[in-house]
Amino acid sequence: MKPEERDALELADRDRGSVLEEAIGRQLRKLRLDQDLTVVELSKAAGVSIAMISKIENGQTSPSLSTLHRLAEGLRIPLTTLFQQYEESRDASYVPAGEGLEIERRGTRAGHRYQLLGHGVRSEVDVEPYLITLNDESDAFPMFQHRGVEFIHILEGEVDYRHNDRIYNLKPGDSLLFDPQAAHGPEKLVKFPIRFLAVISYAQIP
């Protein structure tokens, strides 16, 4: 690649990053004000400094995913809601192979690796697609519970997956669609590595 082509690509990436940062900042401020929270109150709820929140809301910094995750928890909203204004101008969310955003969820502490494969593109419904990877250091954890609807599709490995009082032996090509308000998750990790797609969908809370 010629130097001028590389420079043009870098400038384009920088411009896209700036637009994303500004969109996240606007959305964070809107969500905070919608809940009648001051910056100080959000700081205490999320464990993020006042200075950092101010910089994010003004589009002056590129926050880490862990920071955005804490802010989402402090606001009691799905993480993807923070990307909503950025996505409103697009009708697709493209993630190249291997570039899913790694985020922390409840199962992360059990050695489950989560890669977010896209952001919601419609305001009335949230969709969170994940690529989840389990290895021989991961723990079985059949106690997840959350709202919405969940769909999983096994890509590799073998797992005994619990939903409520039933256990499903899942192998590559197998799928499961279920109500995630019942306790669910891997009951027994049978064959490694285990990789599966998980898509969680739920209606936006007004």
What pLDDT is recorded for position 123? 59
**Three-point CA angle 146, 154, 173, nearest 5°:** 135
pLDDT tens digit sequence for 9-21: 333 344 444 778 8
Q: What is the pTM of this model?
A: 0.57
3-state SS, residue 104:
coil
Q: Is the pLDDT of residue 29 over 50?
A: yes
Residue 29: CB atoms within 10 A of its CB come to 16
Q: Is the pLDDT of residue 8 over 90?
A: no
What pLDDT is recorded for position 178? 97
What pLDDT is recorded for position 81? 87
What pLDDT is recorded for position 185? 95
What pLDDT is recorded for position 109? 66
Q: Where are the domains of the chain?
A: 3-87, 101-203
Q: Is the pLDDT of residue 22 over 70?
A: yes
pLDDT band for position 122 (50/70/90)?
low
What pLDDT is recorded for position 127? 86
pLDDT tens digit sequence for 158-171: 999 999 999 999 99
Q: What is the mean pLDDT of residues 31-39?
A: 92
- State in words which class domain 101-203 has: mainly beta
Helix 50-57 vs helix 65-75: crossing angle, to nearest 10: 100
What pLDDT is recorded for position 41? 94
What pLDDT is recorded for position 205? 62
Q: What is the mean pLDDT of residues 33-53?
A: 94
Q: Of 114, 43, 51, give the one whose Cα is nearest residue 79.
A: 114
- Fold of the CATH domain 3-87: 434 Repressor (Amino-terminal Domain) (1.10.260)
How far is Cα 124 from Cα 41, in angstroms, rounded to an integer?
Answer: 27
Q: Average pLDDT over the chain, rounded to whole?
A: 84
Token readout for 15 is 């411009």
Task: For CA atoms 159, 163, 164, 169, give the dihedral sign.
Answer: negative
pLDDT tens digit sequence for 67-87: 999 999 999 998 888 887 765
**Would the CATH topology of 3-87 be identical to that of 101-203?**
no
pLDDT tens digit sequence for 125-137: 788 899 999 999 8
What pLDDT is recorded for position 120? 61
How far is Cα 134 from Cα 129, in angstroms, rounded to an integer?
Answer: 16
